[in-house]
Structure 1
Amino acid sequence: MQLVSLDDIRTAADRVRGQVLRTPLLPAPWADTDRPLWLKPESLQAIGAFKLRGAVNALAALDERAGAQGGAAGQGGAAGQGVDGQGVAARPSVVAYSSGNHAQAVACAAQRLGVAAHIVMPENTPQVKVEGTRMYGAEVVLVPVGERESAAYRLVDELGAVLVPPFDHPDIIAGQGTAGLEIGDDLPDVELVLVPISGGGLASGVGTAVKALCPNATVVGVEPELAADAADSLRAGQVVEWPVEDRVRTIADGLRSQPSELTFAHLQAVVDGIVTVTEDEIRDAMRVLATRSRLIAEPSGAVPLAAYLHRSGELPRGRTVVVVSGGNVDRAMLADVLG
């Protein structure tokens, strides 16, 4: 299996430049003095999450291939491209499945390209993410939890569309890896990077970039205890599946997916370990981000900081970057967390 390389991530950076925010590293003066901390606030992206990086790269790459092939078939489960009356490759509609942030990212990227987007989302998706997806002109299809993938594939067949998966594709991984590229450029002496893990696309991309640019850095994934399938998988040396009814227990709704064979291969190569955090620790990290750094984070985005705050004994000390992956939190939940 071919893994994404630093060159792939650099190519992605060229594609997404000007389309995604180059988020800063924000120092956290309230952090432990022997564990200097910087926050990578991907919550500041236009759609409120890092997912815009992968979506923009994937759709831009698809557009490039369509133009280069003049209507030849796409890749990675994509349907064939049409050709308009002037012999120009037509842009196919796209389909995505997501609990929210990837949905908004694909909808936003598709709107910019003038492409129709159909997004399959679980019925229990926070309303803020459903509304955000519709805001970009996408058609949202709500389905029972556990059926989003199969429903998406049915739409691909019915519409002759192209599937843009949330993590299981090299273009998505390379796009997410641009965040790691920025970390390596902005803090080349970083010693620890904490990144959330769900399907594994972000950790795969960030880990690949950080390990290439900062070979002495440690990359640690963080999961909720209630959705710790990736931690189990790394221990077992193979993908371990958790029932969907177990994974949906966590408030970190963006971390309820499981790694694919592709992302798991990357995790094995570039992630040094995984720690898990409790639901109360996630809530505490959300409060700390809001009150001490003035950052609104959704539960999934706060998970890495929860590890920094509550799992210090399991982590190496030193200059640390926490990736705050998203900020699309339901208002009622935020009010409850802030109390």
Structure 2
Amino acid sequence: MKDLDGLDLPTFEDVIAAHARIAPHIRRTPVLVSEALNALTGAELFFKCENFQEAGAFKVRGACNAVFGLDDEQAKLGVATHSSGNHALSLSYAAGRRGIPCTVVMPRTAPQAKKDAVIGYGGRIVECEPSTSSREATFARVQEETGAEFVHPYNDPRVIAGQGTCSRELAEQVEGLDAVIAPIGGGGMISGCCLTLSTIAPHIKIYAAEPEQADDAYRSFKAGHIIADDAPDTIADGLKVPLKDRTWHFVSNHVTDILTCSEQEIIDAMKLTFKRLRVVMEPSCAPPLAAILKNPEVFRGKRVGVIITGGNVDLDRLPWIKG
């Protein structure tokens, strides 16, 4: 589908096709609830646990849709991308399942646990400096050398359609949702939520949550146009990337609000999830719960879907452990 600006945008039919295509390669992740967290927030929270995917994150959905949607001729040269971690390891996972090469450009500061996962799935890492400009310049050289198919971490119709399968499952698993909230960095997951929910459940409000120290999506939303930071500094490494034209289309047209939280609030939400749900989430997944705790009046009395986007965290370097 083309919008008024000529963008190639996915449709809900693409989400349905993606769900069928990726079904053999992903898990239909469970939804967990906690009476303690409900009592604390005054809302009914339903946590969609994408951290339980084989690759540890929701991004395996979009990656598998892109990889398994390639024809044999396209697939010969493999795939390539730039990513701070979860898209990199998810694309490596998908490429490994199809038996094709995968090269990823990663910031040298990316968590070692994510680098190890990329290598474990058979991907090749090329490091860059921790800025958007360095990432994109390094990737341009890699793509020229390999000729591989570029699968953008989020600004790709195939990826957005794949991510849209998560909220489709959530709407099937939990009846009567009033709202859904997910983290926002580049906007792939939120765009998938917008695409799916605006079609099948337009009454559901969509919220995004973001670190105060990487709040370019929040500022973009308030300004009405994309504001991109080159190298924001936050513990939530997966949320450092800016919105792009396709994700901005969905965010600007369908998101109800973007809420921000501090670094300490992110850490506190991680600890609380571990204590009450008995699951470990990475820092990039904690802003939604942090935002709910910070803004109880927005969610009180509502049935809220909370997407836990990933769990690829270095257990030896949990942020509340000193030393």
User: Residue deviations 1:228-276, cap 9 Å, x none?
Assistant: 10111111111012231xx1x2100010000101110111122111000
Separation in structure 2 between the aligned mates of residue 331 and residue 24 of structure 1, nearest angstrom: 23
The farther-off stretch of 23-32 and 36-45 is 23-32
Separation in structure 1 between the aligned mates of residue 50 and residue 318 of structure 2, nearest angstrom: 18
* 1:216 corresponding residue in structure 2: 203
Separation in structure 1 between the aligned mates of residue 314 and residue 76 of structure 2, nearest angstrom: 34
Structure 2 counterpart of 1:230, from 186, 199, 217: 217
Q: CA RMSD in A?
A: 1.6
- How much has 1:26 moved relative to structure 2? 1.0
Structure 2 counterpart of 1:111, from 80, 96, 102: 96
Q: Does 1:187 align with 2:174?
A: yes
* 1:41 corresponding residue in structure 2: 49
The farther-off stretch of 256-265 and 303-312 is 303-312
Amino acid at match of 1:23: T
* 2:249 corresponding residue in structure 1: 265
Structure 1 counterpart of 2:17, from 7, 11, 15: 11
* 1:304 corresponding residue in structure 2: 288
* 2:277 corresponding residue in structure 1: 293
User: Residue deviations 1:289-315, cap 9 Å, x none?
Assistant: 111100100001111111122222344
Q: Is the CA contact (8 Å cut-off) linking 1:287 and 1:337 kept in structure 2?
A: no
* Number of residue pairs matched by the alignment: 313
Structure 2 counterpart of 1:153, from 140, 143, 148: 140
* 1:84 corresponding residue in structure 2: none
Q: Is the CA contact (8 Å cut-off) linking 2:92 and 2:102 kept in structure 1?
A: yes
Separation in structure 1 between the aligned mates of residue 79 and residue 8 of structure 2, nearest angstrom: 25
- The percentage of aligned residue pairs carrying the same residue is 36
Larger-Rg structure? 1
Amino acid at match of 2:10: V
Separation in structure 2 between the aligned mates of residue 271 and residue 3 of structure 1, nearest angstrom: 17
* 1:74 corresponding residue in structure 2: none
Q: Does 1:50 align with 2:35?
A: no
Structure 2 counterpart of 1:203, from 190, 193, 209: 190
TM, length-normalised to structure 2 = 0.93
SS at match of 2:206: strand
In structure 2, do the counterparts of structure 1 residues 337 and 325 end up closer, same or farther at CA, with 3 Å as the change threshold?
Answer: farther
- How much has 1:331 moved relative to structure 2? 2.2
What runs of 5+ residues in structure 1 fail to find an aligned partner?
72-80, 82-89
Q: Is the CA contact (8 Å cut-off) linking 1:96 and 1:166 kept in structure 2?
A: yes
Question: Where do 1:27-176 residues align within 5 Å?
Answer: 27-33=33-39, 34-62=42-70, 66-67=71-72, 71=73, 81=74, 91-146=76-131, 147-176=134-163
TM, length-normalised to structure 1 = 0.88
Q: Is the CA contact (8 Å cut-off) linking 1:183 and 1:210 kept in structure 2?
A: no
